[in-house]
Amino acid sequence: TCFCLQGHACDKGATARRHSSVMNGNLCAGDDNNTKQHIRYDWLDQLYSFVLPPITKWDAARMLTLSVDPWARYASLPFIEQATCNDVEDDATTCNATTADEFNKVLNRSEQAHAFLPLFPLIIRCTADFLINSIPHSFLPSTYEATIAFTAVIVNILAFAIAAVSLYDLTIFMSMRNDLATPKEDETSNNKTINYCDISKTTAELFCVNPAGVFFTSAYSESVFAMLTFGGHALAARGLYYNASSKMRNSSSNRSRLVSYFWVLSTLLWALASYVRSNGTFSSIWWMLIGFGQCCSYIYTAISAKRDDKVCIRAMTVKCATILCCHGILALAVAAPVFYHDKRGYRFHCMETNSSVFNKPEWCTQAEDSTKFSLYAHVQRKHWNVGLLRYYELKQIPNFILAMPVLLLSFGAAAWWIITSWNRHMNIGCDGADCKNSITLKNVFWWAFQALSSSSDSVNNIPSVSNSSQLLLGPSCLPYYAILAGFALVGTFVAHVQISTRLICSSCPALYWFVTILITSAQKNGKDNENHARSTRTTHLIWFYFLLYNILGSIMHVNWLPWT
């Protein structure tokens, strides 16, 4: 078994240009090297031959192909550009048709390669070259292609561990921030610290056994993406916590400067994540919601103080415009790598190909107006039928069933946060009996306004909670649950629904927070004999789902069964 250099299934028997092997010219991960230039350990070669092939299936083959052969992204090949009819007996029409057919195959391959952003293959390639130059070849797989696959495993294991630590850190700081405004007389600070660690530990453990585990260890980009995404969220959460705590203590501006550093670093990590997977652009939603929240907070403060003079309104307008402009720039910086990748693909296909007519794709004329054309969306639609409701077919029902658990958890998490926020609004943010007894458009608008305002405010006036995990439903968690809901909607209505599990598990801390809340609440309720059986079932069902999908995924994915 090997990973096919064309990029999807080895049984297609396709070949392509590749980086010249440092150790030999075999195409398959795990094959032995017949021209042994170094001492080889048979047991190590057998181990690599057993371990590496299973992790090179499905889209992992495409990732590894692009690591071995970065030029696969180009829409022209030297042998096609220089193709001529040397045989005088050749029919020119037949020759040109053959050349065009060959180029169409290359074009399809290069278009499909554009669906996979280049940072992850680049990381694998550079790390593999580093290993080859720093470790004796006797300890590495016998082929360059196998070394690429081996490197992908090492990188993903390290990235997975860092992602788990980042999620742990993020959970602690989000809990601490939401706890800033809760009454402190009920619990000591030591107990609070222990509770922070407990819920953070549970969250990290859930991530370590998440239902998409097979994709975090095989040659997919989920681990690196989660590392960058969760790392960015952890830095941003530190910034929010320090900003909130400094406001409550009236600290100096040095803390504000530190917050800015955290936010710039988080933006950088999210931008890198967008260059690993296109869904990294969802992190820009975080910046926009934080910006809108800060504006709503300023407006709410002015309304509460009953300051409606022109000077106040003018100052508030300038302040909000500045905030939205700054956060808009940060959001664009997060999404910029995807736009750059689209421009780069346009240049590869439409400006750097052979001048022959058949060498330019039809969409090049559409791409001249970049505001209306996205090459990434075009490739997804053309080659994978990705689009709104395009996946709603009877034959896809098994895939919907496969993705149903994570989608139900995601929508349930978003709904639970909304209900909690609404109840909080009814209890402490709604004035008058009429307000509390009715759900009107005015009340809904006022709730949304206060939810945005409190999501960025340092003093949220949160009621005390009996279970510390409920802090993960606090006002400042709004952007995280909004992103989770967005991913769930995309997975349900736009993308191939079966990828929803790995899509959400690698992108959304709020999913793990919600499951942590369910588990800790079940454990707390389980102390009551009447609720013990139901609470135990809830906890067991959650762990059963996580572990079952890990086992089934490991079995099905490596055997070319539909688990993608």
Give the tens place of pLDDT for each residue, 425-443. 887 756 544 555 567 788 8
The pLDDT, as a whole number, for residue 155 is 97
Angle subtended at Cα 9 by Cα 506 and Cα 5, rounded to the nearest 5 degrees: 90
Whether this prediction's pTM lies above 0.85 is answered by: yes
Q: What residue spans define the domains of the chain? A: 150-557
The pLDDT, as a whole number, for residue 349 is 81
Lowest mean pLDDT segment, chosen from 47-61, 458-472, 546-560 = 458-472
Q: What is the average pLDDT across 175-186? A: 69
The pLDDT, as a whole number, for residue 436 is 56
Q: What is the average pLDDT across 223-251? A: 87
User: Is residue 71 packed enough to be buried (19+ CB in 10 Å), middle (13-18) or exposed (0-12)?
Assistant: middle
Kindly state the tokens that stand for 531.
């609720």
Dihedral angle at the C-alpha atoms of 512, 516, 519, 525, nearest 10 degrees? -150
Q: How far apart are CA 420 and CA 413, in angstroms?
A: 11
Residue 316: pLDDT band by 50, 70, 90 thresholds? confident
Residue type, 378: H
Q: What is the average pLDDT across 243-248? A: 75
Other Cβ atoms within 10 Å of 330 Cβ, number = 22
Q: What is the average pLDDT across 99-121? A: 83
Residue type, 137: H
If you ran DSSP here, which 8-state letter would residue 38 be given?
Answer: S
Is the pLDDT score of 357 beyond 60? no
Q: How far apart are CA 8 and CA 362, in angstroms?
A: 25
